A and B are shown apart, each in its own frame.
Chain A
Amino acid sequence: MKVLVFIKRTPDTAAVVKPTPDGKDIVREGLAFIINPYDEFAVQEAVNIKSAKGGETVVMTVGDDASTEQLRRALAMGIDRAILVKHDRFWELNPSQVGYAIAEIAKKENPDLIIMGKVTIDDYTYALAPYVAQALGYNLVTYATNVEYGDSTMKVERESDLGKEVWEVPYPAVISAERGLNEPKIPSVMGVMKAKKKPLDVVEMDLPSYAYEIVRFTPPPPRKGVKLLESVDDLIRVLKEEVKIL
């Protein structure tokens, strides 16, 4: 089976993100970056599929030169080769532009399966997997928590507020990874050394233009301190007079 994984370079979940003075971007200098955590489930899933069923695994991203760090990490986790679709301000791209790039690569690579995270933690659009499936005419299952891979179909579990669903889906397909799909492994030192020798192709691509602009980033308001109250009467008074919800 051939699996294509899409990942994105995102700020570390523990990083403190601040807007730039003009409010149109975040300060990227000195910020720690990681593979989007949901994409890391996708990488691990591809590695698991290859170790169980053989085949080939390819990881791609749309990103700047620094995004090779994340591609190398995916290679260190066990992916066979990597493709960087070069874009110096990739964080400004819309899901349809990134989705176009993925679809273009997929047309050349012909994967049986495309896996990516259900969402990226920096833009929260949830739109990428549906876009890619639509563009390619592939089947789609979102928020996968467990998959059994058969020869021509796969059984995908997804969890919703209504309970668990199991879908049987023929290849080719796109799945978006939810937490719980697997436990991503920390790469080994050997993995890092092997990754150095694996192919990493850089692709230039004209992406469709899209008429949208980020107007302003605003940080969340700072959390107010805890106020200790003396009695229930005090609580009722605060809820009435200060919070004004009673």
Chain B
Amino acid sequence: MRSKGIRAPWTLKLAALAGLAFLHVPMAAIILYAFTTETKSYQFPPPGLTLHWFAVAWERQDIWDALALSARVGTVATAIALVLGTLAAAAMQRSRFFGRETVTLLIILPIALPGIVTGIALRAAINLIDLPFSFWTIVIGHATFCVVVVYNNVLARLRRTSGSLIEASMDLGADGVQTFRYVVLPNIATALLAGGMLAFALSFDEVIVTTFTAGQQTTLPIWMLTELVRPRQRPVTNVVAVFVIAVTFVPILVAYYLTRGTETVSGSGK
């Protein structure tokens, strides 16, 4: 909506620009220092530009291991979230039962709680049942918030989908499985895609919960954190950061376009 005749004062425009710059200049710095020839400090302007660090990063097996772990964790956590999130959303949309609001709150809670609380709670629980830290403990930790993202997206879509579509399908002779296959799934497909990509992006850069559930394993964000503490070829970290920006940015952009004009993609703020 554009208000006619009233223009924002230049001070407000400047403040808005400053705000945007504050948000995005550091990202530009990351990208810039992935190409610097200087290894120890952030000197501006960089003394020279090189593609050397991309080659170095390519050769480092620890990066590849971390990347592979993160990708696997993200994929499995997203898969779990797609199934559980859809089922939960369908149940919440369809039924009115005692304690429904409480269950809704419990589903949303992992994304509302600080990650550190989720992390401590999960670590305590994992210790309590004597579960060894593994790939699966990371997946469980990530799934807690990935489920919420999928749940929110699917629920928003189901709310906009007329309930009589399902009844019409059953009325015409389709059983539950056929109705899901031919009517429900096509109607929530883009919501699933958007929710799934957001879930993957969240999992891919998660640090806090992972710290508590990973044990000795290193996901990509954990690897970056340790690199910052013990700098060794600092620009390599920036190269990886550039890679992470690219990997996270694409799905979020696609998710945005898929759900454009629909309700907000809830949970994208985590």
Decide whether A and B assemble into one complex. Answer: no
Tell me the B residues contacting A by CB distance below 8 Å.
none
